[in-house]
Amino acid sequence: MREGLVSEGERTGYNQTEYDNHHLSRLKLVRSLIEVGGMSVSDVADLMTAIDDPTLPMSDVLHKAQTSIPHGAPSADDDARARILAATAERGWVVDPDNIGIALAAQAVSTCELLGRGDLVDSLPDYLEAAEEMATADLQRLGGAADRDHVVQTVIIDTIFGDRLVAGLRRAAQQNISMQANRVRDDATSHEA
């Protein structure tokens, strides 16, 4: 409250204040952004100011939410960035070239190529398709939600925790596919013997 991240509650007595579910929801969001999202208090305050500004278009609030979450300073060469933008355009995406996702994807491509693993770019269409399916699922969860706080919280939560969920499930799926392939290979070997 001192930082202006959560609004004051309703004073009900000399040393008593009453808080409602909105306060609790906001407090949980602020704590998640700081403790799990790694945001500074001042970055959270800036984001909360954007959320609370009813004159700010929702697209600007969502952009602020995405760019507020620390990702490090992604750096990639212009060629990798151009290839990511070309691949998204080929898929029919309408995306701001300055979107943090473009920078992060370009950094991944650039780094893989530096390591001699340019084959990642060959899988780009598959990654784009999977990302589009995940983004569609994220936005479908919003439905027709009109509550600005709910929409922004969903985007923030999906970005912070959704990224971790995807990374975790991807690793589990890799192990599953690898183990199934080994099982099939072992079964084929045992039938030959």
Q: What is the pLDDT of residues 43-90, one digit of tens each?
A: 888 888 888 888 988 778 777 877 777 766 667 788 999 999 999 999
* Residue range of the domain that includes 96: 71-142
Residue 182 pLDDT > 90: no
User: Both 104 and 18 in a single domain?
Assistant: no
Structural domain tally of the chain?
Answer: 2
User: Which of 108, 123, 142 is where one domain is finished?
Assistant: 142
Report the chain's mean pLDDT, rounded to a whole number.
82
Decide: pTM greater than 0.85: no
* CA–CA distances in Å: residue 89 to residues 64, 66, 94, 105, 128: 23, 21, 7, 14, 11
- Cβ contact 99:65 at 8 Å: no
User: Both 6 and 24 in a single domain?
Assistant: yes
User: Both 86 and 112 in a single domain?
Assistant: yes
Most confident of 4-8, 102-106, 180-184: 102-106
In whole angstroms, how large is the CA radius of gyration of the chain? 22
- CA dist., res. 188 & res. 135, Å (int): 39
Q: What is the CATH number of the domain that holds 177?
A: 1.10.1660
Q: Which two tokens stand for residue 71?
A: 């990702």
Other Cβ atoms closer than 10 A to 19: 14
- Specify the higher pLDDT residue, 129 or 57: 129
User: Both 83 and 133 in a single domain?
Assistant: yes
User: Both 112 and 133 in a single domain?
Assistant: yes
User: Both 15 and 65 in a single domain?
Assistant: yes
User: Both 152 and 63 in a single domain?
Assistant: yes
pLDDT in tens, 25-43: 888 888 878 887 778 888 8
Most confident of 67-71, 93-97, 157-161: 93-97
Instruction: Please enumerate in sequence order all residues whose Cβ is within 8 A of that of 46, keeping only pairs 6 or more positions apart, or say none.
Output: 64, 68
User: Both 128 and 84 in a single domain?
Assistant: yes
User: Both 120 and 162 in a single domain?
Assistant: no
